[in-house]
C-alpha cells in the first residue's frame, strides 16, 4: 500500500544506537524478585537458595535449572552452599547439667548444653546455629561475626567462622541474628549492590550520589546516559564512554598514562612559540588553527606547520611515523623510540581533552552574548539555536577524536585506513571549531553544512572501527 514505508534499521545507520532503560531501586528489586520466585517455583526450592544460585551464575536461570537437574549436589558445592566433604570433627556432644531441686522431693529435669569454640563458653543448645557444614557457634558469636563482615563491606560472601571452611552464610540467618536496624539496612544495601553487579544486564549509574540503575540486553561498549544526573558512561565497563577504543584497550591506555605521567609532564604547558616571529602564544580556545596576535601568521598548534597548506597535510600531522630500522637499533634507542611514540599519541590525547574544556568556555561566553542580544530584542533563543547545536556537535566530534589516539597507539592492522579517516575527521573538526568560535559572524548555511560534514566523518569512522559486538 501507499502508506507502507521501508523501515530503516537504526543499528545499521547509527553505530552508537543503543536501547536501554533507567530504573530506580524499587523497580530493580521487583525485577530480581521475579527471577527468584520463578526459579523457586520451577525447582521447588526456597527463595533464599534460589537467590544464591542465581547470584552465583550471574542470574542465568537456564543454567541453574540445567545444572540443578543434572547434579544438584555439585551445584550446591560449587556455589558454596554445601560443604564438599566433612571438613571438621564431629561437634562435641551436648552435656547434661543437673538443675538443683527447688524443694524437697522434687527431681529437677536436665537441659542440654554445648561449648562454643569461639567464645569458649558453655551455653544451652537452643542458642547455637550451624550451617550445612555442621560447624556450630553461639548466637552472640555469629552476630559479632556478621557485624565485623558487614563493617568491611562484605555481604553475600560472608563465610563460616571455622578455619578453612568457605560455606556461605544464608541471607535469612544473617537477618535473623542482626538486631540493630541500621546494621540490617546496611547489610541489605550491600547484598542488593552485589546482586546488581552480578547481573549482566544491570549497571549502577557512576554519577555522584545517583541511585539510578541502567538496564540493557545489549552488553556492548555503547554510551548510556542517566536520565536523572545526565552522566554518560560505557555500559559494558562502566567507565567514561570511549568509542572507538574498546574497554580492554582503554584500561591499558589509562594505566600507561598514569604510570608515565611524570615523563609526559612537559606537555602540560599551555604555551608555544609562534614559528614565524617566535613570540610566546597561549592557547585560549579549543581550535588548533592558531593565529599569532603579533604577526598574524596562521599555523597548526600541534605540529606548528603553516595552516594554509595544512588542509592537505592532516594525514601527516596526526599519524605517527615509525622508524623502519628500529629493530636493528640498541636497546636504549628502542626505548627512546617507544617513548617518542607514546608521547606523540599522549600529546594529541591531552590536547583534545583541553580543547574540550576551552570550547565549553567558548559556549558559556556565547550563551552570555546571545542572552544579551535576546534582551535587546535582536531575535529569540530559537533564532540562535543552531549555534548551540553546532557547539554540542563539536564537543561530540572532538570527544570521539580524542579517543581515536589510544586506539591508534595499540592498533596493528588497517592502520593506514584508520589514520586517514582520523585525519579527515580532525580536519573537519578544526574547521567546525573555527566557525563556532566565530559563529555570530558565520553564515548559518555554511555552519550547518560544516556540521553535517563533521558528523558524517565521525559516523564513518565509528562504523568501520567501533567494536560493538557483545
- Per DSSP, the three-state class of 213 is strand
Provide mean pLDDT across the span 9-35: 90
DSSP 71-136: HHHHHHHHTTSS-SS--SPPPPPPEEEEPPPSSTT-PPPEEEEEE-TTT--EEEGGGEEE-TT--E
Summarised one tens digit per residue, pLDDT across range 223-263 is 999 999 999 999 999 999 999 999 999 999 998 888 765 45
Active-site residue identified among 133, 287, 300, 397: 287
Summarised one tens digit per residue, pLDDT across range 387-416 is 888 988 999 999 999 999 999 999 888 889
Which residues lie across from 124 on neighbouring strands? 113
Could you tell me the three cell numbers for 351?
590536547
Least Cα distance to 113 among 99, 100, 101 occurs for 99
Residue 13: its pLDDT value, please? 79
Q: Is 287 among the residues known to form the active site?
A: yes
Question: What is the β-pairing status of strands 280-282 and 289-291?
Answer: unpaired
CB hemisphere CA count around 213 (13 angstroms): 21
| Cβ(332)–Cβ(309) below 8 Å | no
CA 165 to CA 163: how far, in whole Å? 5
In the block, residue with C-alpha cell 550451624:
130
Of these ranges, 98-107, 262-271, 447-456, the one predicted with the greatest mean pLDDT is 447-456
Summarised one tens digit per residue, pLDDT across range 60-86 is 999 999 999 999 999 999 999 998 866
Instruction: Name the architecture of domain 113-186.
Output: 2-Layer Sandwich (3.30)
CATH of 248-465, one of 3.40.605.10, 1.10.390.10, 1.10.10.10, 1.20.120.1750: 1.20.120.1750
Length of the chain: 470
- Residue 176: pLDDT band by 50, 70, 90 thresholds? very high
Which residues lie across from 300 on neighbouring strands? 289
Summarised one tens digit per residue, pLDDT across range 417-461 is 999 999 999 999 999 988 888 877 778 899 999 999 999 999 999
Amino acid at each position: 500500500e501507499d502508506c507502507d514505508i521501508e523501515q530503516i534499521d537504526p543499528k545499521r545507520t547509527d553505530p552508537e544506537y543503543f536501547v536501554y532503560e533507567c530504573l530506580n531501586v524499587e523497580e530493580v528489586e521487583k525485577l530480581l524478585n521475579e527471577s527468584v520466585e520463578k526459579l523457586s517455583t520451577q525447582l521447588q526450592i526456597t527463595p533464599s537458595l534460589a537467590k544464591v544460585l542465581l547470584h552465583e551464575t550471574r542470574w542465568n536461570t537456564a543454567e541453574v535449572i540445567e545444572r540443578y537437574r543434572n547434579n544438584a549436589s555439585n551445584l550446591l558445592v560449587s556455589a558454596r552452599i554445601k560443604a564438599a566433604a566433612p571438613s571438621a570433627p564431629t561437634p562435641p556432644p551436648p552435656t547434661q547439667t543437673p538443675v538443683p531441686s527447688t524443694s524437697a522431693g522434687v527431681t529437677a529435669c536436665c537441659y542440654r548444653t554445648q561449648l562454643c569454640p569461639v567464645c569458649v563458653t558453655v551455653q544451652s543448645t537452643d542458642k547455637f546455629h550451624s550451617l550445612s557444614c555442621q560447624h556450630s557457634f553461639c548466637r552472640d558469636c555469629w552476630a559479632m561475626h556478621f557485624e565485623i563482615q558487614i563493617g568491611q563491606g562484605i555481604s553475600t560472601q560472608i563465610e563460616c567462622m571455622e578455619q578453612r571452611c568457605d560455606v556461605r552464610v544464608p541471607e535469612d540467618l544473617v537477618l535473623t541474628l542482626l538486631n540493630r536496624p541500621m546494621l540490617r539496612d546496611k547489610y541489605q544495601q550491600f547484598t542488593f549492590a552485589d546482586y546488581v553487579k552480578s547481573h549482566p544486564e544491570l549497571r549502577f549509574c557512576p554519577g555522584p550520589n545517583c541511585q539510578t540503575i541502567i538496564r540493557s540486553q545489549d552488553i556492548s561498549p555503547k554510551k548510556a546516559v542517566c536520565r536523572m544526573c545526565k552522566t554518560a558512561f560505557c555500559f559494558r565497563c562502566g567507565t567514561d564512554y570511549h568509542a572507538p577504543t574498546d574497554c580492554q584497550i582503554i584500561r591499558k591506555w589509562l594505566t600507561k598514562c598514569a604510570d608515565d605521567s611524570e615523563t609526559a609532564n612537559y606537555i602540560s604547558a599551555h604555551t608555544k612559540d609562534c614559528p614565524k616571529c617566535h613570540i610566546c602564544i597561549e592557547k585560549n580556545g579549543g581550535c588548533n588553527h592558531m593565529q599569532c596576535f603579533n604577526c598574524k601568521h596562521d599555523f597548526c598548534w600541534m605540529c606548528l606547520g603553516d595552516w594554509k597548506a595544512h588542509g592537505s597535510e592532516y594525514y601527516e600531522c596526526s599519524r605517527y611515523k615509525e622508524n623502519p630500522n628500529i629493530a636493528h637499533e640498541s636497546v636504549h634507542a628502542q626505548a627512546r623510540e617507544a617513548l617518542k611514540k607514546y608521547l606523540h599519541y599522549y600529546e594529541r590525547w591531552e590536547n583534545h581533552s583541553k580543547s574540550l574544556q576551552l570550547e565549553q568556555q567558548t559556549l558559556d561566553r556565547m550563551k552570555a552574548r546571545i542572552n544579551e542580544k535576546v534582551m535587546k530584542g535582536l531575535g529569540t533563543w530559537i533564532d540562535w539555536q543552531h549555534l548551540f547545536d553546532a557547539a554540542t556537535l563539536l564537543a561530540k566530534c572532538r570527544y570521539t577524536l580524542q579517543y581515536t589516539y589510544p586506539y591508534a597507539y595499540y592498533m596493528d592492522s588497517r592502520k593506514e585506513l584508520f589514520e586517514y579517516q582520523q585525519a579527515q575527521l580532525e580536519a573537519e573538526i578544526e574547521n567546525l571549531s573555527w566557525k563556532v568560535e566565530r559563529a555570530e559572524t558565520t553564515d548559518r548555511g555554511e555552519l550547518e553544512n560544516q556540521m553535517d560534514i563533521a558528523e558524517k566523518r565521525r559516523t564513518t569512522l565509528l562504523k568501520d572501527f567501533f567494536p560493538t559486538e557483545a
